Amino acid sequence: MFDGMKLAAVATVLYIIVRCLNLKSPTAPPDLTYQDTPLNRFLLKSCPQLTKEYIPPLLWGKSGHLQTALYGKLGRVNSPHPSGVRKYLPMQDGATATFDLFEPQGDHRTGDDITMVICPGIGNHSEKHYIRTFVDYAQKDGYRCAVLNHLGALPNIELTSPRMFTYGCTWEFAAMVGYIKRTYPQTQLMVVGFSLGGNIVCKFLGENSLNQERVLCCVSVCQGYSALRAQETFLQWDQFRRFYNFLMADNMKKIILSHRHSLFGGNPVKMIDLDLGPLYTATSLMQIDDNIMRKFHGHSSLKEYYEKESCVHYIHNVNVPLLLVNSADDPLVHESLLTIPRTLAAKKPNVIFSLTLHGGHLGFFEGAVLFPQPLTWMDKVIVGYANAMCQWEKQKPPCQSGHLSESSCAEEKA
């Protein structure tokens, strides 16, 4: 009986491992949704990562869980240490936004001054390995990089007001972009957002058309587009999403409690009538959002908070070239959410939606069999797309730009 139970347990573990490795899953180029325009044809021709087969490491790279776990645990392999300068920006409500500024390590191939303004994922900052790897790669290609540190995310930076980052608050990102525009009046911007940062940058651009001035393009990677629609999927065990929800909630609890004095005590303008009991017992992001996060901006309900902080209500206002990247095996983003970028790309000529078969959540590791390469497909596709956009701006016909459709061009010629 005991040997039979052990055998059944071993068989079960082996079955789970085989399912996770997903060795028989095919590889293929990304599934693309876009309108046939001169700009999109040029971008797809000039950025080969978007049309060529993405090949993850053979033994484990076809598992979205393992890709996500490796990103979550290590970030990247042999991550570099780019040297930057930390900037501090006082906000009107007493908060202090911080970002790290990294100068290019050489001239850009076009000779232009280009700055990438980067918004990391939930609770992340410029010191995360995946950010350091991407910044180093972009610097070497001639890009200045400005990386937002989410309010409260840096462990050694105290909050100066009873507020921290939320799912869709764009105030700190707007302050960083404003600083870059004032300090470098000749620079043009490439906007980049990872996961939650993708939601923030798309919402920022869509909130006000003035925010799109001097912006060449935007790239969003692995975001979920609608928190309201995502919340139900995060309570499901499909793809172990409920477990990931628990892990992210635990991390958010640690960040919030590390700033408990600034947020909840010893401050004359602290939030009042706040019971921290539900925070200690919370096992999901929704519980934390309902009891803590929504109150930072005075939202009356969780539904209102998710509605107002999701980019799905603003992204249709973005008119600069927009690349939206997701992975089909991302365990955090349910497939139902991908109808949002797919529909947008089918309707708007400035949008390309790229869906890879593999990559997990912010993984996208490449490699032959076992060991991943330091640079990921994600790093390469963002810089490749940015380079293609810069090249387009240099050689485009006079009436064409990322903001003009073919009909607009025809009207201008007439």
* pLDDT tens per residue across span 162-210: 999 999 999 999 999 999 999 999 999 999 999 999 999 999 999 999 9
pLDDT for the residue 235: 85
* DSSP letter assigned to residue 118: E
342 assigned to some structural domain: yes
- Of 309, 339, 368, the last residue of a domain is 309
Name which of 6-10, 121-125, 131-135 the model is least confident about: 6-10
* DSSP letter assigned to residue 90: E
Mean pLDDT of 16-39: 78
DSSP string for 39-59: HHHHHHHH-GGGTSPP---TT
pLDDT for the residue 398: 65
Please pick, among 161, 195, 262, 354, the residue that the annotation labels catalytic. 195
Calpha distance 253→278 (Å, rounded): 11
pLDDT for the residue 44: 97
pLDDT for the residue 17: 52
User: What one-letter code names the amino acid at 103?
Assistant: E
The candidate with the shortest Cα–Cα distance to 213, out of 176, 171, 172, 178, is 178
pTM: 0.90
CB atoms < 10 A from the CB of 226, how many? 19
Residue 372 near residue 57 (C-beta atoms within 8 A): yes
Q: Residues 6 or more apart from 307 whose CB is under 8 A from it?
A: 228, 313
pLDDT for the residue 264: 85
- Of 309, 334, 364, the last residue of a domain is 309
Mean of all residue pLDDT scores within the chain: 89
Please pick, among 330, 334, 358, 379, the residue that the annotation labels catalytic. 330
pLDDT for the residue 23: 56
User: Quick one: 173 and 91 in the same domain?
Assistant: yes
Assigned token pair, 272: 């009042």
pLDDT for the residue 405: 46
User: Quick one: 73 and 109 in the same domain?
Assistant: yes
pLDDT for the residue 401: 57
Q: Dump pLDDT digits (tens) for 398-407.
A: 666 555 544 4
- Of 309, 342, 364, the last residue of a domain is 309
In the chain, pLDDT over 70 holds for what percent of residues? Answer: 87
User: Quick one: 43 and 173 in the same domain?
Assistant: yes
User: Quick one: 283 and 213 in the same domain?
Assistant: no
pLDDT for the residue 409: 53
130 assigned to some structural domain: yes
Catalytic residue at 63?
A: no
10 assigned to some structural domain: no
302 assigned to some structural domain: yes
* Higher pLDDT pick, 25 / 51: 51
Confidence class of residue 12 from pLDDT cuts 50, 70 and 90?
very low
User: Quick one: 152 and 277 in the same domain?
Assistant: no
Length of the chain in residues, anyone? 414
pLDDT for the residue 282: 93
113 assigned to some structural domain: yes
243 assigned to some structural domain: yes
DSSP string for 129-153: HHHHHHHHHHHHTT-EEEEEE-TTT
User: Quick one: 157 and 296 in the same domain?
Assistant: no
User: Quick one: 215 and 233 in the same domain?
Assistant: no
Question: In DSSP terms, which residues pair with 100 in a beta bridge?
Answer: 86, 147
13 assigned to some structural domain: no
Residue 101 pLDDT > 80: yes
The candidate with the shortest Cα–Cα distance to 329, out of 15, 28, 6, 8, is 28
User: Quick one: 189 and 104 in the same domain?
Assistant: yes
Catalytic residue at 195?
A: yes
Q: Dump pLDDT digits (tens) for 61-100.
A: 999 999 998 887 777 778 889 999 999 999 999 999 999 9
Calpha distance 220→203 (Å, rounded): 11
Number of domains within the chain? 2
Enumerate long-range contacts of 171-174, CB under 8 Å, 24 or more apart.
Answer: 171/91, 171/95, 171/97, 172/89, 172/91, 172/95, 172/97, 172/99, 172/148, 173/117, 173/119, 173/148, 173/200, 173/201, 173/204, 174/204, 174/211
Q: Are strands 85-90 and 322-327 parallel, antiparallel or unpaired?
A: unpaired
Question: In DSSP terms, which residues pair with 324 in a beta bridge?
Answer: 220, 353
Residue 350 CA, distance from chain mean position: 19
Domain with 109 in it: 23-226+321-392
CATH of the domain at 137: 3.40.50.1820
User: Quick one: 56 and 140 in the same domain?
Assistant: yes
For residues 77-105, one letter each, b for 16 or more C-beta atoms within 10 angstroms of the residue's C-beta and e for the rest, the string is bebeebebeebeeebeeebbbbbbbbebe
User: Quick one: 233 and 209 in the same domain?
Assistant: no
Catalytic residue at 361?
A: yes
Residue 271 pLDDT > 70: no
Calpha distance 84→101 (Å, rounded): 5
pLDDT for the residue 365: 95
Mean pLDDT of 379-388: 98
Residue 305 near residue 294 (C-beta atoms within 8 A): yes
167 assigned to some structural domain: yes
User: Quick one: 292 and 363 in the same domain?
Assistant: no
User: Quick one: 164 and 77 in the same domain?
Assistant: yes
Please pick, among 136, 259, 361, 379, the residue that the annotation labels catalytic. 361
